[in-house]
Amino acid sequence: METVEMNSVSLKRPHSEDDVANADDIKRQKISEKSQTGNNSGQSVETVKEQPDKSLLEDTKNEIIPNEEGEEQEDEELEDSDEDGDPESFADMMKHGLTESDVGITKFVSSHKGFSGILKERYSDFVVHEIGKDGRVSHLDDFSVPVDDEVNSEDPSEETFTVLSDEDKQRLEELQLLKNKETSVAIEVIEDSKEKRTVIHQAVKSLFPGLETKTEDRDGKKYIIAYHAAGKKALANPRKHSWPKSRGSYCHFVLYKENKDTMDAINVLSKFLRVKPNIFSYMGTKDKRAITVQEIAVLRITAQRLAHLNKCLMNFKLGNFSYKNHPLKLGELQGNHFTVVLRNITGTDDQIEQAMNSLREIGFINYYGMQRFGTTAVPTYQIGRAILQNNWNEVMDLILKPRPGAEKGYLVKCREEWAKTKDPAAALKKLPVKRCVEGQLLRGLLKYGMKNIISAFGIIPRNNRLMYIHSYQSYVWNNMVSKRIEEYGLKAVPGDLTLKGATAVHIEEEDVHNYTIHDVVMPLPGFDVIYPKHKIGEAYKEMLVADNLDINNMRHKIRDYSLSGAYRKIIIRPQNVNWEVVAYDDPKIPLFTTDLDKLEGKPLPVLPTDGKFRALKMEFSLPPSTYATMAIREVLKMDTSIKNQTQLNTTWLR
């Protein structure tokens, strides 16, 4: 695990309710004179650095997305020197990013005074455990491989993973993926014996699904010949007869990962197993800059093969294996349990007590967090708005035009070429990464022409296209909830909406005493929702009219972009809230043990009773689709945007 050493200081910010409402006040933050040296993450809330953290730069660049077939990223090692430089130049670039007030995040529910703390100084300060639909929290606590009642003679032995040379594996992979013109690969059997030939047969069949093998004599020597059993159709489909009938078709396991997002992790596992990513399933995606623990299911890959990956993968561990007859489905989880460390806190014990009690008893505003809206000068909600307006030239322009801010150098060159020539082929040549959104749109324009932008845009995977319009819905929702809190405070009022089962109903005057703010929901705009009966209902209409949209006609001529809408609670009260203030001297020392630490028998960190620094250790559980950063924002009362963090950081150096 790579860490970056740098200097940091804690920033002190006044944060009353009035301060947050005023964007100008947010910029006039005061900086505490106190400083410390430590390992700092790019997402830290209030840090000053001598050099911009690589992780921050990476998190603010356009992400490379997998295509619909889940092809793995080929370009993750690409770096660009344009992003090097002093923090002031990076902060200048981030001036074009978003602050919370830009996306409607302006209110707090608690009355305590805010205080400073460093969020994600180390990615290991942010740990996420998935909560399954049965309410069980996922933990990695067992590396053992289950034994079948029916022994499968074709399960690979340990020798299977070492009997083939790297050159053999390369040739077999090319054959498996049909990357060359060869119809077979011959592997000479050194030190020939029946046992040795059996191991090679097993190795080829288990490591390269879709290939069959046979033994041949050539010039007095024994060779194992690998070939395609059924052409392309056999690729990545495990042989049916090799799977015991008594064993469930899906191997479920717990994935423990550090500093990788879920899709990246699955792409890596796919690459090592030499299978397609789409045979994996999961209930939800998890943060990159964190330690996360979640359940994954994979079709017809043995626990033994998966367990072997623990010997060759960095920052991953797999365990708690079991066989079941079903995959996992997105959204089946109950939520996530978070363990978070906020380092170098400045709040008094009384402030911390007030803040955490408020989080436990009242909760926080259920805003969509900053990651929903992108980090560049073109927010994702603007593209979503243009899609809903059916303004396809604007969609193309927003995605491809030059933009100020922090981006990979090759994207900058691609945008400049596009602005100069409007030639998709020329702009595409500037992109070594073809699977980013820009590359996919340019390929679409090359295929369908500039007069068919709708079809060109359709080349982008569906989930990524829908991300834009969901971002616009989130933008509207955040703004409307801020207005609702400002207008009516933290109590249910007549005209609010609540859910009866899955159906939204208005709260009537005579029933209002039966409801609290925790019962109130607000709609994401769409054709299948109702709106509040009070002023906020009109505010929805006014906001959409200002965006040239009709709230009464949210159906789009392209079915994918028709918004049905949904309901979302405006206040979330976390469950299982616990906290502890600890003292420490060394910023690099972990302040709690992870699942992996426990499995490896690492002792609890020894902390001084009277250290130089103080940290707040928090634990809480949240339902799906809620943002832990918004809960932490409520505790600290601070702007969580990268733009605000970076501007505050750089102020100290000027």
- Dmax (CA) for the chain in angstroms is 95
Place of tokens 């920052």: 315
Place of tokens 């050159």: 167
The confidence band for 95, taking pLDDT boundaries of 50, 70 and 90, is low
Q: Say if CB 293 and CB 318 are below 8 A apart.
A: no
Q: Which residues contact 604 (CB under 8 A, 6 or more apart)?
A: 592, 593
The stretch 551-575 carries a mean pLDDT of: 94
**What mean pLDDT is reported for the chain?**
80
Note the pLDDT tens digit of each residue in 313-362.
889 999 999 999 999 999 899 999 999 999 999 999 999 999 999 999 99
The confidence band for 37, taking pLDDT boundaries of 50, 70 and 90, is very low
Among 441, 434, 414, which Cα is nearest to 426's? Answer: 414
Q: Which residues contact 77 (CB under 8 A, 6 or more apart)?
A: none
- Helices 642-651 and 87-94: angle between axes, nearest 10 degrees: 140
- Helices 437-448 and 409-421: angle between axes, nearest 10 degrees: 30
3-state secondary structure 308-325: HHHHCCCCEEEEEEEEEC
pLDDT at 149: 53
Range list of β-strands (E), 300-391: 316-324, 335-343, 364-365
Distance CA 481, CA 134 (A): 31
Place of tokens 């809903």: 388
Q: To which H or E segment does residue 207 belong?
A: helix 194-207
Long-range pairs of 624-628 with CB within 8 A, sequence gap ≥ 24: 624/284, 624/331, 624/333, 624/334, 624/335, 624/336, 625/568, 626/335, 626/366, 626/572, 627/367, 627/368, 627/369, 627/371, 628/126, 628/128, 628/336, 628/338, 628/340
The confidence band for 469, taking pLDDT boundaries of 50, 70 and 90, is very high
Over pLDDT 90: what percentage of the chain?
52
In this predicted model, which residue has the larger pLDDT, 80 or 600? 600
The stretch 235-262 carries a mean pLDDT of: 79
pLDDT at 652: 31
pLDDT at 83: 35
Q: Out of 53, 59, 155, 287, which one is annotated catalytic?
A: 287
The confidence band for 644, taking pLDDT boundaries of 50, 70 and 90, is low
pLDDT at 216: 87
- Give Cα 494 to chain centroid, integer Å: 38
Note the pLDDT tens digit of each residue in 164-194.
888 888 888 778 777 666 778 888 888 778 8
- Give Cα 445 to chain centroid, integer Å: 29
Q: Which residues contact 615 (CB under 8 A, 6 or more apart)?
A: 117, 341, 342, 343, 344, 345, 581, 582, 583, 584, 591
| 496 has catalytic annotation | no
The confidence band for 98, taking pLDDT boundaries of 50, 70 and 90, is confident
pLDDT at 246: 85
Beta strand pairing status for 520-524 and 566-569? antiparallel
The SS3 call for residue 428 is: helix
pLDDT at 4 over 70: no
| β-bridge partners, 318 | 255
Q: Which CATH class, in words, describes the domain spanning 158-234?
A: alpha beta
Note the pLDDT tens digit of each residue in 107-158.
999 999 999 888 877 888 999 999 999 999 999 999 999 876 544 444 556 6
The region of weakest confidence among 220-234, 399-413, 598-612 is 220-234
- For the chain, what are the domain ranges? 111-125+339-365+578-636, 133-147+244-333, 158-234, 465-569
The CATH code of domain 465-569 reads 3.30.2350.20
pLDDT at 227: 84
pLDDT at 49 over 60: no
Q: Which residues contact 140 (CB under 8 A, 6 or more apart)?
A: 254, 256, 293, 317, 319, 320, 595, 596, 599
- Provide the terminal-to-terminal Cα distance of the chain, rounded to the nearest Å: 32
Measured CA to CA in angstroms, residue 429 lies from 76, 105, 601 at distances of 18, 39, 51
Distance CA 589, CA 606 (A): 9
- Give Cα 183 to chain centroid, integer Å: 40
Q: Say if CB 104 and CB 481 are below 8 A apart.
A: yes
Options 3.30.70.3160, 1.10.630.10, 1.10.760.10, 3.30.470.20; which CATH number does 133-147+244-333 get?
3.30.70.3160
The confidence band for 160, taking pLDDT boundaries of 50, 70 and 90, is low
Distance CA 211, CA 225 (A): 10
pLDDT at 377: 75
